[in-house]
Amino acid sequence: MTYRAHLKATMVLGLPLIGSLLAQVAVGVTDTVMVGWYGVTELAAVALASSIYFVFFIVGSGFAMAVMPMAAAAEGEGDRLQVRRYVRMGLWITVFFCAALMPVLWNFGALLRAMGQTPEIADLAQDYMRIAQWGIFPAMLIMVLKSYLSALERPAWILWGTVLGAIGNGLFNYAFIFGNWYAPELGIQGAAVASVLTASLTFAVLAIYSQWQPDLKDYAIFSRIWRSDWPAFFEVFRVGWPIGATMLAEVGLFSASAVMMGWIGTDELATHGIVLQIASLAFMIYLGLANVATIRVGRAMGRGDLSGIWRASITVTVLQVATAAIVIAAFLLVPEGLTGLFLDADNPKSGDIIAYGVGLLMVAAAFQIVDGLQVIALSVLRGLKDTRVPMICAVFSYWVVGVPASYVLGFNYGFGGHGIWSGLVIGLALAAITLGWRFVIVMRRLTNEI
């Protein structure tokens, strides 16, 4: 394929995936906006709870993400039976993981107090989590189905299912947070109810499509779902756990920053949650392109097409850099407008939070290109089924360098929240460099083998 053909294929697959990811993060943005309208203390609690909850969620997502390159490679080889084996065992692993996680989430308040959070924030976050935790089952199963449908290059229903869930989430939030349409006013717990209902609705849409769409019936992923397939189970586990650990290292970096922001103050933590949601919207575009890289590289790997691997990787990287340039411009040109969307203008604290958020957005602009490059490199390597060394690169970059840098700049040097976010820049930049070098090494090895 020419670069023009790769660009077209990337856009056809990538735009629906990006749209679905933006719709997915819109759920979190909607929660942040509506809870922010309800109260700043509640916003701080949801920001902290969501950050730490996402750490647990992302670890389990590693197994779901493993399904994508494995199913893509099997599809590239024309082996539908193997696709079904990987998907079903991916569903099994995620259910086991969610069940094991439930006791931890139920005692979420004690975990936050151990991290040095105030009793008020810890209690509110626990109230939220004891409801929201029930949504982790459908949410994790959604990730497996998304990997499956993406590997088959069928992104349209991923988009529509996620968009439907995002719309439902807004309606559920409006009803249960504020007590509209005869619903009870549940405040922060209403946001949790909305999240559970949203995940359940989205899973139902994707499951129905996967089961009854005529072209997918031959895969029969739910047929005799109760039957074990231990070779496929452990193969998915082997590829998936380093992916989960890698994603944990990055997401944990941001969650650690949320904990440190909580040490500074409630308003600073609330501002952190707002800016992180804005940055997450941009990251979803990079992640959508990265998923395309995993799929197209995985299929090329299944065919033994070295040129296809190179061209798919380069095409996605160029698109990511161009996208990051646009995002940087938006962060620098309209920071007040972006931050102000999340706050009630009548709130007396809005002015201070917006001013603080503008400074954080300036720092966020600094890591857009490297953040996109590191996730592209990770995803290309996943397509090549190289997951363990990238995990080591990520853990070193984020936790040996990034988190200590955040602490030192934020507290030892007195830069506060801006110093904490500067540590994120350092960790992400190092990850982009080390993962890019790993890609070069792997491609040299493949050149000699193929």
What does the pLDDT look like over 382-394, one tens digit per residue? 888 888 899 999 9
Tokens for 61, please give them: 């997502």
Q: What's CA 106's distance to the chain center, in Å?
A: 22
Greater model confidence, 410 or 280:
410
What mean pLDDT is predicted for residues 194-213? Answer: 89
In terms of residue numbers, what domain contains 310?
3-449
Q: What is the pLDDT of residue 273?
A: 80
Percent of the chain at pLDDT exceeding 70: 98
Greater model confidence, 217 or 376:
376
Distances (CA, A) of 401 to 56, 253, 260, 396, 419: 22, 10, 16, 7, 14
State how far the Cα of 264 lies from the Cα of 415, in Å rounded to an integer. Answer: 11
Q: What is the pLDDT of residue 237?
A: 92
Q: Which helix (H) or strand (E) holds 112?
A: helix 108-114
Q: What is the pLDDT of residue 270?
A: 80
Count of domains for the chain: 1
What mean pLDDT is predicted for residues 166-183? Answer: 89
Q: What is the DSSP string of 133-164?
A: GGGHHHHHHHHHHHHHHHHTT--HHHHHHHHH
Band (pLDDT 50/70/90 cuts) for residue 344 is low
Residue pLDDT, tens place only, 20-49: 777 777 776 777 778 877 877 887 888 778
DSSP 8-class letter at 47? H
Greater model confidence, 425 or 450:
425
Q: What is the pLDDT of residue 397?
A: 94
Phi and psi (nearest 5°) for 435?
-70, -35
State how far the Cα of 308 lies from the Cα of 312, in Å rounded to an integer. Answer: 6
Contact 308, 1 (CB under 8 A): yes
Residue pLDDT, tens place only, 97-115: 999 989 888 888 888 888 7
Q: What is the pLDDT of residue 366?
A: 87
State how far the Cα of 71 lies from the Cα of 299, in Å rounded to an integer. Answer: 9
State how far the Cα of 391 lies from the Cα of 238, in Å rounded to an integer. Answer: 13
Contact 144, 109 (CB under 8 A): no
Summary mean pLDDT of the chain = 86
What does the angle CA 393 – CA 292 – CA 13 come to, to the nearest 5 degrees?
170
How many CA atoms lie within 13 Å of 127's alpha carbon, on the beta-carbon side?
15
Q: What's CA 401's distance to the chain center, in Å?
A: 22
Beta-carbon count within 10 A of 208 CB: 12
Among 249, 325, 251, 340, which residue's Cα sits nearest to residue 286?
325
pLDDT at 235 over 70: yes
Q: What is the pLDDT of residue 234?
A: 92
State how far the Cα of 289 lies from the Cα of 307, in Å rounded to an integer. Answer: 19
Band (pLDDT 50/70/90 cuts) for residue 233 is very high
- pTM for this one? 0.74
Q: What's CA 416's distance to the chain center, in Å?
A: 26
What mean pLDDT is predicted for residues 436-442? Answer: 92
Q: What is the pLDDT of residue 45?
A: 83
Q: What is the pLDDT of residue 450?
A: 60
DSSP 8-class letter at 33? H
Contact 368, 324 (CB under 8 A): yes
Q: Among 31-45, 139-153, 250-264, which is the least confidently predicted range?
A: 31-45
Among 171, 370, 395, 192, which residue's Cα sits nearest to residue 279?
370
